[in-house]
Structure 1
Amino acid sequence: MTIGELLTELKDDFPAVTASKIRFLEEKGLITPQRTAAGYRKYTGADADRLRFILAIQRDEHKPLSVIKEYLDAIDRGEQPQPLSSGMSLGPKVVTEQLAHEIIGRIRPLTRAELQGITNASDELLEDLHNFSLLRMTDDQRYDEHAQRVVKAAVILASHGIDPRHLRSFKITADRELGLVERAVAPMAARKDAAARARVAETAREISEACLSIHAALVQGAISDYE
Structure 2
Amino acid sequence: MLQTPSGGARAGTAAGKESAPMSIGAVLEALRAEFPEVTISKIRFLEAEGLVEPARSPSGYRKFTAEDVERLAYVLRMQRDHYLPLKVIREHLEAFGEGAPRSVPPVVPPGGPEGPDAGSAAPAVRTGRKELLGLVGAEEADLAEWEEYGLLGAAEDGTYRLADVTVAQLVAELGRHGVAARHLRGVKAAADRQLDLVQQLVAPLRHHPDQRTRTRAEATADELVDLSVRLYGAFVESAARAARTRGD
Would the TM-score normalized by the shorter structure come out above 0.5?
Answer: yes
CA 1:113–1:137: 2 relative to 1, 3 Å: same
Gapped regions of structure 2 (runs ≥ 5): 1-9, 16-30, 45-51, 53-64, 108-123
Equivalent residue number for residue 226 of structure 1: 244
Equivalent residue number for residue 85 of structure 2: 62
CA 1:25–1:116: 2 relative to 1, 3 Å: same
- Superposed CA deviations along residues 104-138 of structure 1, whole A, max 9, x for unmatched, are 75962110110011101111110011111111112
Greater fraction helix: 1
Equivalent residue number for residue 174 of structure 1: 191
RMSD value, Cα: 3.8
Q: Is the contact made by 1:121 and 1:155 (CA closer than 8 Å) also made in structure 2?
A: yes
Q: Is the contact made by 2:13 and 2:69 (CA closer than 8 Å) also made in structure 1?
A: no
- Superposed CA deviations along residues 72-118 of structure 1, whole A, max 9, x for unmatched, are xxxxxxxxxxx931544564xx53xxx22x24759621101100111
Q: How far off is 1:193 after superposition?
A: 9.6
| Matching residue within 193, 196, 207 for 1:190 | 207
Equivalent residue number for residue 74 of structure 2: 53
- Superposed CA deviations along residues 31-68 of structure 1, whole A, max 9, x for unmatched, are 9xxxxxxxxxxxx854652333332564564229xxxx
Equivalent residue number for residue 114 of structure 1: 131
Letter of the aligned partner of 1:219 in structure 2? V
Q: Is the contact made by 2:207 and 2:214 (CA closer than 8 Å) also made in structure 1?
A: no
Q: Is the contact made by 2:126 and 2:160 (CA closer than 8 Å) also made in structure 1?
A: yes
Q: Is the contact made by 2:42 and 2:219 (CA closer than 8 Å) also made in structure 1?
A: no
Equivalent residue number for residue 85 of structure 1: 91
Alignment of 1:143-182 (within 5 A): 143-182=160-199
Q: Is the contact made by 1:20 and 1:194 (CA closer than 8 Å) also made in structure 2?
A: no
TM-score by length of 2: 0.60
Taking every aligned residue pair, what percent have the same amino acid on both sides?
A: 25
Cα distance in structure 2, aligned partners of 1:194 and 1:105: 36
Gapped regions of structure 1 (runs ≥ 5): 10-16, 32-43, 65-82
Q: How far off is 1:18 after superposition?
A: 5.8
Q: Is the contact made by 1:7 and 1:19 (CA closer than 8 Å) also made in structure 2?
A: yes
CA 1:50–1:212: 2 relative to 1, 3 Å: closer
Letter of the aligned partner of 1:49 in structure 2? E
CA 1:138–1:192: 2 relative to 1, 3 Å: farther
Q: How far off is 1:20 after superposition?
A: 7.1
Q: Is the contact made by 1:24 and 1:198 (CA closer than 8 Å) also made in structure 2?
A: yes
Equivalent residue number for residue 6 of structure 1: 12
Q: Is the contact made by 1:185 and 1:203 (CA closer than 8 Å) also made in structure 2?
A: yes
Q: How far off is 1:199 after superposition?
A: 2.5
Equivalent residue number for residue 126 of structure 1: 143
| Matching residue within 16, 20, 24 for 2:38 | 24
| Matching residue within 205, 209, 227 for 1:210 | 227
Cα distance in structure 2, aligned partners of 1:173 and 1:22: 31
Equivalent residue number for residue 62 of structure 2: none
Q: How far off is 1:149 after superposition?
A: 1.0
TM-score by length of 1: 0.64
- Superposed CA deviations along residues 191-220 of structure 1, whole A, max 9, x for unmatched, are 599866652222112112222222222211
